[in-house]
Amino acid sequence: MRRRSRRPPDHHARTLPYRGAPITGLPFGAARRSSARVRVFPLPPQVTPHTTPRGDLNMSRTINRVELLGRVGTDPDLKYSQNGTAVCQLRLATDRRRQNGETEADWHNVVCWGKQAEAVAEYVQKGNRIYVAGSLAQNTFDREDGERVYRTEVHAQEVVFLDSNGNGNGRSAEREGDAEPVAEAAGPTPF
């Protein structure tokens, strides 16, 4: 009499016909042959910073991510903060299609710091197409006349130059570190 091992059944496994594909012994996503059939075990859910180990969306976390692809509306304005950090500001236009088929331009204030700011100021000019990835930030500051101004900015972490006019075709300028620019981003941009 042959003794069978008592293993718990694989409730999540599917049985598929074996078609001669290589069989691997990996624990997840692996296939096992059992008499001309293949048992396929599902992969574990993809775990990302925004999901739980079961694959559910983690609602206690937040996301602040912006991706823009458009044309630069103003020449970049490079200035240096009081501690010597380069700060570059520019306006980026993106098109939004309306229901009647017309397009309308949306304007975004983009800010970048450090070596990235210097590269953007050197290689980007009005009319260039660029891709920007970063986060949204709301800044408030008081003007000289006492009026409080609210300004929404895109704090760029990555800028890719898309034009092929010799000014950095496809090159990207990434932020070097987040420690210093985040401290700068907390207050208004004093320009």
Q: Do the beta carbons of residue 116 and residue 176 sit within 8 Å?
A: yes
Query: CA distances (Å), 102 to each of 37, 90, 105, 106, 107, in order?
Result: 57, 25, 10, 13, 17
Joined tokens for residue 179: 């420690």
Joined tokens for residue 105: 């331009």
Looking at residue 174, what is its pLDDT? 54
User: Could you tell me the pTM of the whole model?
Assistant: 0.56
| Parts of the chain belonging to CATH 2.40.50.140 | 66-185
Looking at residue 26, what is its pLDDT? 43
pLDDT in tens, the chain (191 residues): 555 555 555 555 555 554 544 444 444 444 444 445 555 555 555 555 566 666 666 666 778 899 999 999 999 999 999 999 999 999 999 999 888 889 899 999 999 999 999 999 999 999 999 999 999 999 898 989 999 999 999 999 999 999 865 444 445 555 544 434 433 444 454 44
Looking at residue 55, what is its pLDDT? 65
Handedness of CA 54, 57, 63, 69 (dihedral sign): positive
Query: CA distances (Å), 64 to each of 56, 61, 69, 138, 154, in order?
Result: 19, 10, 17, 12, 10
Q: Do the beta carbons of residue 123 and residue 167 sit within 8 Å?
A: yes
Q: Angle CA(70)–CA(71)–CA(75) in degrees, nearest 5? A: 140
Looking at residue 3, what is its pLDDT? 59
- If we measure between CA atoms, which residue out of 179, 175, 170, 75 comes closest to residue 122? 75
Q: 66-185 maps to which CATH number?
A: 2.40.50.140
For residue 150, the cross-strand partners are: 140
